[in-house]
Structure 1
């Protein structure tokens, strides 16, 4: 695979500092997968912890494609030997990502003393769940999100917007076929168990409506979410006929950062994109 070296256009919102990302990935890395940082419609950064004598990391990415098809061209095929702060790092403007895009990918590795390139099984990253860093000040919700999500929606999922240690917001696109949403329950890093009472990290009884979304926003201190955490959640909604429906539990993984292009930061401050530390149950 031909190596590509591409310079990323850095927005005001995402002055780059990889040390925080890599250190948190190395500490919490329980799943063998890369970490993606995406700026909407601008570019992508990929981080992968260096393991032992691994001397090359590569990735083939297919955006919104059926990876099972033969002779499928990848949207980004790139490898690197560059290591920063313990991570292989790839930066590219050749691939742009927008709300609700899905990246399916395979990773490649080469180790010292071997001429073989190993290929890992395919995985996917869904850019549905936003995690917005504290330093970043954005419109709520990001400009045009509700209209985009309602038009593209195929699975009723919320957008979680988590400002580190400061606030939390949840946006549910108001797709006409869904009916009136009345609540959401979520628990961090734990599965729901039927018939067992569990302490919830989020128990939203009602939403307000704004700009095509059902919206919940709280200035209260949110649970101490960190890179690699997941939210297990249930959406509760009421049909026009009054019937209440609960979705099956679903998970939102806080592994992939998606930063809206509408995001802006104070010009004299840097955004380190470093999640807070948290204890695991």
Structure 2
């Protein structure tokens, strides 16, 4: 009985070890099946891998329990399953290797967005530059045209002013002729000259009639005496206001007189005696310096005599 128990005990221990190895193998097999389920996408490959995992677990359990005739069978089954699983992945990898160049070629053939945008932006900037240049040229042309029009308008206005002045001058001369204040030659007329006393170039503002001192001086037109007295460099001086003729105000002045016979406020008539020729003030000899004022401006007396 003791010998029989001793024989049975190793057997029992061997069976217990197989059960423990089987449980251990099933745990590791579950892990392998989980990995296989994630790694393979085709159903047949997944099933084969699960079967392979179970066979390998059984092989480990058998190895733990010792040599057994079933171990060779299990190894053969594992080899067949491994040959079934392993080659099937190769065509898929080869298929992926063949598709990649086509995808790369397709990507390279498509136009890139940044290149397209850059070209469009370049065209837009070029168009903006052209538009800006055209605008500048248009402004320059407009400014030049405006300047030409302004110059033409100024020239036309100047011509109109000159024509109006000439017309007024002609009308004034025709409607308001003056008589000579005395009969004598004019030795120095209206305009620039070298002053006989100061020796410098100055404007001569009237006509100088050369005649001996004491000669009678007459009013060139009717009017009112507004000045009669000493006039500094003009010497004895008389100014007659002739009023407004055709909208133009006239005055005449008589200078370097030796004597005056009219007073301020007195009304005179054309040709009336108002004084005598002299050489008073800044003068080099007996003469009459005669002036005509038109709207307050001294003008050439020859235009009215």
Q: Smaller-chain TM-score range?
A: under 0.3
| Between structures 1 and 2, the one with greater helix share | 2
If asked which structure has higher relative contact order (CA below 8 Å, sep 6+), I would say: 1
Larger-gyration structure (1/2): 2
